[in-house]
Every structure is written in structure tokens, then in C-alpha cells.
Structure 1
Amino acid sequence: MSYTGPEFPPPQPERRPGRSRRAPVVVAGALVSGALLGWLAYTAVGAFGGGPDARPDRTGAAAVTHSSAPASHSPAAHSSASPSPSSSVDDGKGTDAGTPASGPLRGRVVVIDPGHNPGNARHTAEINRQVDIGTGHKECDTTGTETDDGYPEASFTLDLAHRLRTLLQQQGATVELTHDTGTRAWGPCVDERARIGNEAHADAAISLHADGSAPGNRGFHVILPAAVHAGAADTRPIAAASRRLGASIAGSFVRVTGEPPANYLGGGTGLVTRGDLGGLNLSTVPKVFIECGNMRDAADAARLTSGSWRQQAAEGISEGIVAFLRES
């Protein structure tokens, strides 16, 4: 999701020409975080040699449980994510799961925010509108990045959201998406994305992304909210819980997927703290972002475009959320 926009600082000179990228971020936490421990343990057993499809494929995800649409749009019939570039593997399609199953997360609410929207590029005036993020004003939303072969970040995040939703529903959680295929022509804006989680009284919220950094920069990172107190933003009550959520997700993500922590920020922990993201600044519930890999790096792109690896990513994120909620 790296480019100039509401969630990202201006592009850096060393990045790929013609495509702006995210500015350096503030490193979060000590090197003894759960993410680093998971990385060290995984490295010790040589798990990263398995490649993106090392684990078997699994069933894809169901349709959205809840969604939010602007007043001018009536929610359409819920449908699956955009087709996977790897059509021979699970593409995350499914049908409405209805009432959450009985399970350890019965009564818990999780909000999943698929980053960007495939229609944003067709609605530049709308997504360029300025919104208040507490520490200032930024654009409503942005278009997202893509792989060199043209697989959009917005398609990736919707597919991953569907898979993650099904896994959490199987644990008994009530799951709400901020938007889904067919429910929004564009957006929602970053302030509304935060508001959806707040109004749902989510026990945990996560925004799904993939980065657009320079080739050679690879690996995942989880973005934690800084302790922001400005204007409408006050993350102080959720900062500690969000850090626990992020560390839990980072540890399980590296273990399940084999994706290493980012080698270009975060100090090898897989954790980064930022105070410039509207989706975090305006949240009143524990919330993190995850950048699952770098779409502009060939090794990461091979994983991100694999349906079976996206299922692993959903499993890693789900396990981190489940662990956090069972300890909360």
C-alpha cells in the first residue's frame, strides 16, 4: 500500500521511478518481541525453505457478514474476491456462512478492513477528498499498489479478507468487513474505516495490505498505532492492547507462512509504530495494519499471487487474533 496518500508519507528518492513509496517509519518495540522470537525459532528449523506453497491448500472463505455502503449505494449481493492469478489453487470463493459457529470466540467481534478498493482508480475525485485524521488532513483513500504483472493490492486484500473471515467464523467470532465486492463503488474513506470498527465495538480490528517498496525489500511487517492525542484522535487507551495484538499476529504469521520480517524497516522484529495513519489514529478499539509482503519484490510477489500462500497468510493472521482474544 505504499504510495502518496492518506496512509503514507511522500515517496522516497531511492524507490522505483514513477511509483511513489512509503517513507521510513518508527521502529516499534524491543527485539525480544513475539515476532522476533517466532522468526528466530522458525529460522532454526529451516522452515523458510518450504516456499510459498509448502503447506497444502485449504477451503476458501465465505461472503461478508456485515458491510457498510455510502447512502448513494445500496449493498449489492455479496460476492467473492477477485479471481486469484493462481487459478489452479483455492481462490477464496464461498457462500454466506450466516450465523457464526459455536466456538471459543463466540460473542467476540472482529472487524476486517481490506485495504483500498478495486474501484478507487475510477473515482479519483472522491478518494482525493480531504478527511480529518486527528493529526491533520489527508486524502479519503488511495488506489493501492500492484505486482509487476499487474495483480492489484485491492484484489489481494479482498481475497485475504474472505479467507480470514471464514477462519474466524469457524472459531465462533462475529466478523464484519469494512467493504466487500459489490458493496462499494469506491472507498470507504480512512476515517469511516476506523468508525466501522468503533461502532461495531470490535474486540480486535485489522487492516490488510501489501507493500509497494523497492525490489529487494521483502518481508512482512505489522503496523502498531502510536500513542496519538490530537484533535479527534486519541489512541492512548488502545495502544497497549494494539501492541499485544500486533505482536501476536506477527509471531503466528512468520511461523505459519514462512514469510520473514521485513528487511527494510522494523529492525527485524516485524513490528513498526506509526502515528500518521488515519485508520489507526481514529480507532477506539485495538487495531493494527499488516503489510503481508512487498508486491514490487519478485520473491514476495510469487507468494502474494499464490492462492495457497494467501490461505496460509489468513491462517497466520487468524491464529494471532485468536490467541490475542483468548488472552484478553
Structure 2
Amino acid sequence: MSYDGPDPDGFDDYYNNLPANSGGTSRLNWRPMLIAFAALVPTALAAWLIWQVVSGPAESEPPKVLPAPGQSSTSSAGSPSDAKESSASPSASKSSASPSPSKSAPKKSSKPAGGGSGPLAGKVVVIDPGHNPGNFRHPADINRSVNVGNGSKECDTTGTSTNAGYTEAQFTLDVARRMKVILEQQGATVQLTQNGDRAWGPCVDERARIGNNAKADAVVSVHADGSAAGNRGFHVILPASVHAGAADTRPIVASSRDLGERVAGKFLQVTGQPPSNYIGGGTGLDTRSDLGGLNLSKVPKVFVECGNMRDSQDAGRLTSGSWRQKAAQGLSEGIVSFLRG
């Protein structure tokens, strides 16, 4: 649709017919004024557009939220600089009494885990969790024979379990991990012969080599027995004097007995578990020459049967997490006592 506007010539006729002095607008000067005005309009418009581009649209400041009593006065939205600071430093809402991260964060140590300061600094402890939760899936591997110096034994066994199915391998691994934490807090360097990171094993001869290669100051092998119901209590197995083939326990018999006696005493004191009523004649100590893990050891080592998984009273303790923590504490205190003399 077209639009017919006023004829421009009409303006000329109108202003040419004005008197010489008709209210201040002269017929002689209207055209230059109009031309000047027309020239200024695009200039002003261009200047306004440039200002808009440079300055951008005006934005109002986001509304500030007044904090509730005890809260920070920081805006709930926050500015970009606030967001960056919050990701790199503690929140402003934390107590001003807290030290800055740069001052309070502990420096990373280059020492191995547990090899720091403490009464056991410089000591090496190897914990041997008996059996392996995956052993039952590898019968051919664990049933093969290995030489233990004075004879042959199976590489490893599946271990026993409670009547409800809680396995010895689960128990030993849990207690060993708890011991590791306790002993590392004392400054010891602690190594486990397996930490659930193997499909099966290791074999008994390899378990002994791990302690030997680590030049351990003490090795404790954690177990639980599978005797008849009514037989209950713990006992510590000590190495007999064996000198045959690759086995020679003579240098470690005395030190292993010292370790075993200290472990037995602390275990009884911390856990309240009585010495075995079916092995050791009430002493909680038993000496054997048929265990490859002891025969092949060249460092002080003992086995600990923490209780009888087939006895309901003992099983109730062995399946309790709080009691397993006591077991780990008692075993660890025995090791600490031995290492500190």
C-alpha cells in the first residue's frame, strides 16, 4: 500500500507568502535553517548508535539479599570474581578463625605410607592375611604342592568358615587391614602379603618370601580355626626348630617366641578372648614344624588363630566388626611391645 504525503512545494508556497516579520520566522531564512537541521539529524543519530554499541545496554545491579543472622552478607548470586574465589579458597561463610589453606594444609611426604614419625619409625611389619577369598575358584592352583623344607604342603587352602558362611579369608583380610592402619599410625612401614588384589594365593612359600624380602622386623599371619563346637579360644603358633632343605628356623626361634608371647598377652588383655581350651594346654601357645609360612621364614614370625569359627560363642565375636577392631588392636599392641623391646 502506497502513502501520499504533503507536497514539498507546498512548504515553499506557505513560507514565501509569510510577511517580512511574522512572529520571528523570516521567509528569507527558513530554508537554510531547515537544511542545517536536516544535516544535524543523521549526525546525532549516528552518535547515539555508536554510544549504544560501545556502552551496551544499561544493566541494573542484581538485588542484594540481606543475610539471615549468622550468615555471610555475600549475594546469593555472587559475582564472577566471587565464584572464582569460592572454588580456590574456603567459603567466606566459614569462621574467620580458621587458618588459610596455604598455612594449614600438610605437605605431601615423599616417604612410603606409614614410614613417618612415631615410636615404630624405621620398623617394617608384614601382615599375612591367611588364605584368600578367591581361593575356592582356583582349586588347581592352590592344591599344587610346594616344598617347605622338611616336606611338601599345598600351595594354599580355602580356609574355614562359620556355620552361617562367613569365611576365614574375609575375617583375616579385614583384621589385617585394620592392623595396617593402627601400625602405620605408630610410624611403621606395613606391607600385606595380599590385600584382596590377587585372584588367589599367594602360596605359603611366597608368603614367607614376602616377609624375608621386606627384611621385616616382625611378621604376623592372621587366621581363625575350624575345630569342633565347644572348642574355643585363641592360640599363637610358634615355629619349631627346623633345619632341612630351604628351611632353617634356628636363628628366629627365640625371637619368634618372644613375639608370640607378647602378642598372646596383649590379645588376651584387649579382646577378652580366652586362651584355647583345646590346644596349648591353656597357655595360648603352640609350636609346629609343618607350616611352610613359618619353616621358610628368616625373620621373626608367628601365626595367630584368633578363635574357632565353628563354635557359636567364638563365631559371634569373629563376625562382629567391633570385636575385629579389638582383635586388630590386640595383635598390633603385641607387635609394638615386641618391636620396642
TM-score, with normalisation over the residues of structure 2? Answer: 0.67
CA distance in 2, matches of 1:309, 1:223: 21
The structure whose residues are more often helix, as a share, is 2
Q: Which letter does structure 1 place at the counterpart of 2:301? A: K
Secondary structure, in 3 states, of the residue corresponding to 1:146? coil
The corresponding residue for 1:307 is 321
1:211 to partner: Cα distance: 0.2
The corresponding residue for 2:29 is none
Find 2:295's aligned residue among 278, 281, 287.
281
CA distance in 2, matches of 1:224, 1:247: 9
Secondary structure, in 3 states, of the residue corresponding to 2:281? coil
Q: Which letter does structure 1 place at the counterpart of 2:152? A: H
* 2:137 paired with 1:122: yes
Q: Structure 1, residues 99-138: CA drift from partner, whole Å, max 9, x if none?
A: 4341010000000000000110000000011100001111
Find 1:251's aligned residue among 250, 261, 265.
265
The corresponding residue for 2:119 is 104
Find 2:275's aligned residue among 248, 261, 270.
261
1:72-151 equivalences in 2 (<5 Å): 98-151=113-166
Q: Determine if contact 1:129/1:140 at 8 Å carries over to the other structure.
A: yes
Q: Determine if contact 1:222/1:288 at 8 Å carries over to the other structure.
A: yes
Give the direction of change, closer, same or farther, for the CA distance of 1:302–1:134 in structure 2 (3 Å limit).
same
CA distance in 2, matches of 1:238, 1:196: 16
The corresponding residue for 1:206 is 220
Q: Determine if contact 2:135/2:158 at 8 Å carries over to the other structure.
A: yes
* 2:211 paired with 1:197: yes
Q: Which letter does structure 2 place at the counterpart of 1:103? A: G
The corresponding residue for 1:241 is 255
Q: Determine if contact 1:221/1:292 at 8 Å carries over to the other structure.
A: yes
Q: In angstroms, what is the RMSD of aligned CA positions?
A: 0.9
CA distance in 2, matches of 1:257, 1:109: 25
Q: Which runs of 5+ in 2 are unaligned?
A: 1-111
CA distance in 2, matches of 1:323, 1:206: 13
The corresponding residue for 1:221 is 235
Q: Which letter does structure 2 place at the counterpart of 1:192? A: E
CA distance in 2, matches of 1:103, 1:260: 31
CA distance in 1, matches of 2:116, 2:319: 30
**Percentage of pairs with the same residue:** 73
Tell me which of the two structures has the higher relative contact order, counting C-alpha pairs closer than 8 angstroms and 6 or more residues apart: 1
The corresponding residue for 1:172 is 187
TM-score, with normalisation over the residues of structure 1? Answer: 0.69
Secondary structure, in 3 states, of the residue corresponding to 2:215? coil
Q: Which runs of 5+ in 1 are unaligned?
A: 1-96
CA distance in 2, matches of 1:174, 1:273: 28
CA distance in 2, matches of 1:314, 1:118: 19
CA distance in 2, matches of 1:226, 1:169: 30
Q: Determine if contact 1:104/1:172 at 8 Å carries over to the other structure.
A: yes
1:313 to partner: Cα distance: 0.4
* 2:174 paired with 1:159: yes
